[in-house]
Amino acid sequence: MSSAGVVSARPSSQGLRRAGLVAGALAAVALVALFVGARYGLMLAIGLGFGITLEGLRFGFAGPWRAMILRREPAGVLAQLLAIALVSVVAIPLLGTHPGELSGAQAPIGWAMIGGAFVFGAAMQVVLGCGSGTLVNAGSGNPVGLLALPFFAIGSFAGAYGLVWWTSLGALPVLTLRGSFGLGVTLAALALVAGLFWALGKPGTRRLQTRYVVAALLLAALGIGNLLVAGQPWGVVYGLGLWAAKGATAMGADLSGSAFWSAPGSVERLQSSLLTDYTSLTDLGLIAGAFGVAAWRKGGLSQPLPRYPARAWIATIIAGLLLGYSSRLAFGCNVGAFFSGISTGSLHGWVWFAAAFAGAFVGIRIRPLVGLEART
């Protein structure tokens, strides 16, 4: 075959691959909608949207925090705060007018919650992935993400198993900002924090790039969609723990000793299909969406195995376990606690943010020590 023939065949092959990715995504959504229910099909579509947005625009939570701490580049964090503000403008009023139909990401502030957030902030910087970030990294073929994900799920399951005991160590009642006053306080606090990060940022790095603005707008729209369709905010951690719990019960484990997993709601989900669990659907969508974007790009899935030392892979496993376990104690990750907690008026989201950001300083110091930044 002539070289011209080879060249002309490449665009056709690429086009077929991309058409197949689009067709596969549409087919998956349609099949879930047809055989499980339209609402569940929509949730899978929303999850795909999250994955496509995060991977396609190379946006996330762990990376911008790292950029702010190491290089005083606040743009990524400012975009996160913008997205949260946009969701809160819609979510907080809706929660007030539809209390029986919609629920927020509210949780109590306690010692275990604060400690869990701190540990989570550290662990996510070790593997450069929070809850959504680990799913996206795994979906795009990142070896560290692929290794951390199953241990994240196991850790989430284990953390939920003893969650009631941890919360008994001491916690305040659930504190929530509601109504017009609550929305005003939330927006004012977000503006204050954004102003602080802007002031601390290095000149020349404060301006939001177009992709950050687009990412913030898309995440806000998808987050609002998640609330309206599922009746609950975007979350990640519960779905991962549920996957591990289903695996444990399939192997004959008795979960009746756990107040969390033996609760009626958890028992019902354990006995039902994953495709009827909203959080699982968006988690699966995150993975699939990131996979689709990586496959869409030329050579997106051809990442070589990093030549990290053995201690780096061991650290990845430990960090994965800690991510899962600590996020259960903290009532969520960057998505469930920070993004959804603050945007639905929960004060625990603010405390989580402070504790996790402090932990991120520690995790950034640990990462090179375990060999995750130095290739051998």
On the question of pLDDT at 3 being above 50, the answer is: no
How large a percentage of the chain has pLDDT more than 90? 85
pLDDT confidence band for 170 (50 / 70 / 90): confident
pLDDT in tens, 29-56: 999 999 999 999 999 999 999 999 999 9
On the question of pLDDT at 362 being above 60, the answer is: yes
Q: Check residue 376 and give its pLDDT.
A: 39
From CA 253, how far away is CA 273, in angstroms rounded? 18
User: 124 near 63, Cβ under 8 Å?
Assistant: no
Q: Check residue 10 and give its pLDDT.
A: 54
From CA 333, how far away is CA 152, in angstroms rounded? 11
pLDDT in tens, 242-266: 999 999 999 999 999 889 999 999 9
Residue with tokens 């606090």: 189
At 334, the amino acid letter reads N
Q: Check residue 16 and give its pLDDT.
A: 86
End-to-end CA distance of the chain: 42
Cβ burial 320-356 (10 Å sphere, 16+ → b, else e)? bbbbbbbbbbbbbbbbbbbbbbbbbbbbbbbbbbebb
From CA 241, how far away is CA 102, in angstroms rounded? 23
- Where helices occur in 201-277 by DSSP H, the ranges are 210-230, 237-250, 264-271
Q: Check residue 15 and give its pLDDT.
A: 83
Mean pLDDT for 330-334 is: 94
For 96-144, give the DSSP string.
HH-TTT--------BHHHHHHHHHHHHHHHHHT--HHHHHHHHHTT-HH
Q: Check residue 9 and give its pLDDT.
A: 46
- Phi and psi at residue 171, to the nearest 5°: -155, 150
DSSP three-state, residue 163: helix
Residue with tokens 């990462």: 367
pLDDT in tens, 180-220: 999 999 999 999 999 999 999 999 999 999 999 999 999 99
Q: Check residue 5 and give its pLDDT.
A: 47
Mean pLDDT for 230-249 is: 96
pLDDT in tens, 70-87: 999 999 999 999 999 999
pLDDT confidence band for 302 (50 / 70 / 90): low
pLDDT confidence band for 11 (50 / 70 / 90): low
On the question of pLDDT at 91 being above 60, the answer is: yes
What pTM did the predictor assign?
0.92
pLDDT in tens, 280-290: 999 999 999 99
Q: What is the mean pLDDT of the chain?
A: 92
**Strand ranges, E, within the chain:** none
Domain ranges, ordered by start, for the chain: 58-285+306-369
- State the burial class of residue 39 (Cβ atoms within 10 Å of its Cβ: 0-12, 13-18, 19+): middle
On the question of pLDDT at 301 being above 90, the answer is: no
Mean pLDDT for 256-281 is: 93
